[in-house]
Amino acid sequence: MVKYYTKACNFYFGPDSKKRVEKKLSIPLHGNKFISFDKIEFLTRKNKRVISINKINKLEKKIKKKILLDIRNISKKKLFKGLKFSNLPVLMGVLNLTPNSFSDGGKYLKKNLAVLHAKRLIKDGCGILDIGGEATNPGSRDIKADEEWRRIYPVLSKIKRKFFISLDTRKSFIMKKGVKNKINLVNDVSGLEYDQDTIKVLKNTNIPFVIHHMQGNPRTMQKNPKYKNVILDIYDFFEKKIEYVRSKGIKHNNIILDPGIGFGKNLKHNITILRNISIFHSLGFPVMLGTSRKRFIKSISGVNDSETRLGGTISSNLIAIMQGVQILRVHDVNELNQSIRVFNALKF
């Protein structure tokens, strides 16, 4: 049986987009008239074709039904507990409380420095603060849950409870502790697969969460990762995982999808994801992207690599914005906010 996929493409922005939406020449992305599209790419694993939205009614009934269902998911306004989506993406500021994270490991091990950095990220305009106590970059090894919580709790306890806090962890023990300390989101890079008790915690607490894609684990994920079709394989993973959490009694829609740049992907895989990330909108949930300071930027930039890889981080995130990605996970919140505001002012 042939499986079909729908990807929004040919986007418009700002006043031009709003006029086109009002004239029904384009379709708003997640309910926002200021970003819209007038074509879709209709794919199978063997071929693809681009279709203008005004030609959809001429398609055969089965294909038309599938496309219209996907467009409904793409265009509907995304509602998420504690978050509001607008013309500007929500920035998730990274706070790594680890000695071995790939770009800032060891910088914030002291509580006072970590708290100061958290306050800086908030002041600079992050909408989510993502706190993690275990490194999951390529080659890193697991740590015990007690050690992970020992790193996290002193900082978590000092941050104002009114702020939106994400807990970057794979362990149900840490998740339960976090929920008791009023976190707002669980960000599990394993795709809810590391700990069999994770689903129980998510169901019992009703906490919002990220479904993240990773092939393998941090120790193995970059050892020759392979896909039949990286975009469609990740899409199928998300679809099956959503069906799984529904089957376990998790009915809320406070779910975010992250295709996992650099988590079991080579350079070609990462580039393909970035060029086609709008396909994930048809699953009906907000999409998150984390490219900040990652190794693929070095692979592309060569001799122009830098410590913070800020240029590559900004450019890759602007590509994501042009495809309607709602959440960007970044280290340099102020610089990303600056680039987004200038970009939007010129684009709109």
87 vs 238: CA distance, rounded Å: 25
Phi, psi of 56 (to 5 degrees): -60, -40
* Helices 333-347 and 310-321, packing angle to 10 deg: 50
- Structural tokens at position 298: 């070095």
Give the pair of three-digit tokens for residue 118: 């958290």
Cα angle value 181/182/188 (rounded, 5°): 90
| In contact, 241 and 157? CB cutoff 8 Å | no
Q: Which two tokens stand for residue 14?
A: 């700002």
E strand or H helix at 230, and its extent? helix 230-247
The torsion angles phi and psi of 80, rounded to 5 degrees, stand at -145, 130
From residue 87, give the alpha-carbon distance in Å to each of 47, 164, 281, 317.
33, 19, 16, 14
Pairing type for strands 255-258 and 209-212 reads parallel
Report, as residue numbers or ranges, the catalytic residues.
294, 329
